[in-house]
Structure 1
Amino acid sequence: MTDSNDAALKADKAAYEGNKLTKRLRHHVGDAINDFNMIEDGDRVMVCLSGGKDSYALLDILLGLQKSAPISFSIVAVNLDQKQPGFPADVLPAYLESIGVEYRVVEEDTYSIVKRVIPEGKTTCSLCSRLRRGVLYRVAEELGATKIALGHHRDDILQTLFLNMFYGGKLKAMPPKLVSDNGKHVVIRPLAYCREKDLERYAELRQFPIIPCNLCGSQPNLQRQVVKEMLNDWDRRFPGRIETMFRALQNVVPSHLADTQLFGFVDLVAGEVPAAGGDTAFDKEEFHDPQPVDEDGQARKRISILDSRPKESACGG
């Protein structure tokens, strides 16, 4: 009897934790969509599905929000089959058909191009990413997609920040929302507020059929992997540090950096009105979310994607 009771208690606890995790991720995604106005009424969202945990979670959470959101938007999942040796081409179509989502699998042999151009032992990510991006932009036009959703999460964004600082000499991360270089596409990252470790647990909970990337997975000494291990170590030793660093990306003070293109240091003289966020150093500050305004400058009410869709009355009105 005790063993059965223990098993029941463990099952209840697992269900409780799983529900908490699902709600947390759903709210993180909803908050990111709301904060950056990622998805609007009538959008056609192309979710780029690689077969990894992050893109599976992105698709799953967006499908859940789609059912209850007060706005209407459609979703199409797109997978790029890069013709990697041993790639299980049947896994994603079977999964997507099982959940009843519209999808397209695009076959492009970018693998051969990368292997031919990049010398053995060198990092393939940069070229692979550029080739993949070009194909996805083309497919987005073919499908009439108004938004392209990528599965990068908070950890990816912070890793990119440190990669650019350490190796590129730039203070630059991954934006949650951007317009492509050709000006034709809006790219969004709805997982921007989500932790990778939460997404790992969610993938286990939902039992997604994960497909590993053999093209880049065999490069253990990637600079990104080194930075990832550094951040994970900080997260273990200094709880809360990762959250604080990400908040820093949302509280930038140009007058306290050193970019003469970003702030007018050259013309700065005594007697002028101090810059916002001026000489406060480490004084305690209060941060407030900006109030959205319309074209006339009036406060604008923004619909939250986390709001429930209004239910129809019994008469159908």
Structure 2
Amino acid sequence: MTQTVTSLSDPSQPHRLFQPIVKAAGQAIGDYRMIEDGDKVMVCLSGGKDSYTLLDVLLHLQKKAPIDFEIVAVNLDQGQPDFPTEVLPRYLSEIGVPYDILTQDTYSIVKEKTPEGKTTCALCSRLRRGILYAHARQIGASKIALGHHREDLLETLFMNLFFGARLKAMSPKLQSDDGSNVVIRPLVYVPEPQIKAYAAAKGFPIIPCNLCGSQENLQRKVVGEMLEAWEKEHAGRLNNILRGLTRVTPSHLLDRDLFDFATLSAAPAEGDKGFDPEPYAEREFLVDLSELPML
């Protein structure tokens, strides 16, 4: 499908691009009851297109939603080389959003602990998550909002399937192991191309990641390219996969913890003595069963 690109000088363009994003995010928030009256939502702002878009969505809903909730933006400066420390404070001050900037040199730890040639994502995200969870408890945030979108969720699904032999994606709403934090992902229904177009139209001051973003040949990148190719070849396929995750039939999977296969049995009808093969022994079939395809 060809999309007409309007000049970025057109003030209505960001508004038009924003409408499907906020609609999908509002749907996800409602479906999973992500935000409730009186919540204090800590929005994790990395400086990337996804988290900027997430903040815009929540600020819009804060004005329009029939409930009251508080927003505080939080950025973690991880000590990456040449990180522009002034960008986010200036941006957040200009739009009038309360914020906290945390400083923890996890960059050095990740580089020290990760063997040469290995990806840094797992350790980096674990350290970052611990710091953000602790800060959320410190400021009394009832929800932690992350900017993961549709493609992030689907990439995780196939990463777990291909490399971990697990049928597992991302939770739209997740309670931490100790029960003290609730993580929400309001953008899980939103396609990444919509976010890219909106971020470009808004001209967000994007801060690149010099740690994970610089790594080549990541398996996640390969899976992402696979999904992108699928969508180009068969438009709508990714939404079908996403929709499929909401319509799970445990009895048609193989997980014995989800469905009790062991106790399944056919209950004979009253007076039924069971199967008697004798009447069928001499039966002449009209079709050669050997020619039927295997089911």
TM-score class, shorter-chain normalisation, is 0.7 to 0.9
How far 1:182 moved relative to its partner?
1.2
Q: Which moved further from structure 2: 175-184 or 123-132?
A: 175-184
Counterpart contact for 2:42–2:145, Cα < 8 Å:
yes
Counterparts of 2:141 and 2:216, CA distance in 1: 35
Counterparts of 1:143 and 1:19, CA distance in 2: 33
Counterpart contact for 2:14–2:202, Cα < 8 Å:
no
Task: Tell me whether 1:91 sits opposite 2:83 in the alignment.
Answer: no
Counterpart contact for 2:119–2:218, Cα < 8 Å:
yes
Q: Percent identity?
A: 59
Task: Tell me whether 1:146 sits opposite 2:142 in the alignment.
Answer: yes
Counterparts of 1:21 and 1:190, CA distance in 2: 17
Aligned equivalent of 1:21, options 2, 9, 17: 17
Aligned equivalent of 2:69, options 69, 73, 95: 73
Counterparts of 1:13 and 1:116, CA distance in 2: 46
Equivalent residue runs for 1:2-151 within 5 Å: 18-151=14-147
Equivalent residue runs for 1:158-173 within 5 Å: 158-173=154-169
* Matched residue SS, 2:211: helix
- Structure-2-length-normalised TM-score: 0.87
* Matched residue SS, 1:138: helix
What amino acid is aligned across from residue 174 of structure 2 in structure 1? L
CA separation of 1:12 and 1:185: change in aligned 2, threshold 3 A: closer
Counterparts of 1:230 and 1:67, CA distance in 2: 38
CA separation of 1:10 and 1:138: change in aligned 2, threshold 3 A: closer
Counterpart contact for 2:13–2:201, Cα < 8 Å:
no
CA separation of 1:53 and 1:11: change in aligned 2, threshold 3 A: closer
What amino acid is aligned across from residue 125 of structure 1 in structure 2? C
Structure-1 residue corresponding to 2:274: none
Structure-1 residue corresponding to 2:181: 185
Equivalences, count: 264
What amino acid is aligned across from residue 212 of structure 2 in structure 1? C
Structure-1 residue corresponding to 2:209: 213
What amino acid is aligned across from residue 36 of structure 2 in structure 1? E
What amino acid is aligned across from residue 197 of structure 1 in structure 2? P
Counterparts of 2:38 and 2:241, CA distance in 1: 35
How far 1:18 moved relative to its partner?
3.7
Note the residue ranges of structure 2 that are not aligned, 5 or more in a row.
Answer: 269-295
Task: Tell me whether 1:268 sits opposite 2:264 in the alignment.
Answer: yes
Counterpart contact for 2:6–2:13, Cα < 8 Å:
no
How far 1:21 moved relative to its partner?
1.8
Counterparts of 1:31 and 1:61, CA distance in 2: 12
Structure with bigger gyration radius? 2
Counterpart contact for 2:25–2:189, Cα < 8 Å:
yes
What amino acid is aligned across from residue 255 of structure 1 in structure 2? S
Aligned equivalent of 1:258, options 250, 254, 258: 254
Structure-2 residue corresponding to 1:196: 192
How far 1:79 moved relative to its partner?
0.2
Counterparts of 1:217 and 1:120, CA distance in 2: 16
Aligned equivalent of 2:232, options 230, 236, 239: 236
Counterparts of 2:13 and 2:254, CA distance in 1: 45
* Matched residue SS, 2:199: helix
Structure-2 residue corresponding to 1:296: none
Counterparts of 2:201 and 2:116, CA distance in 1: 37
Aligned equivalent of 2:218, options 203, 216, 222: 222
Larger RCO (CA within 8 A; separation ≥ 6): 1
* Matched residue SS, 2:16: helix
What amino acid is aligned across from residue 164 of structure 1 in structure 2? N
* Matched residue SS, 1:217: coil
Counterparts of 1:66 and 1:90, CA distance in 2: 26
What amino acid is aligned across from residue 194 of structure 1 in structure 2? V
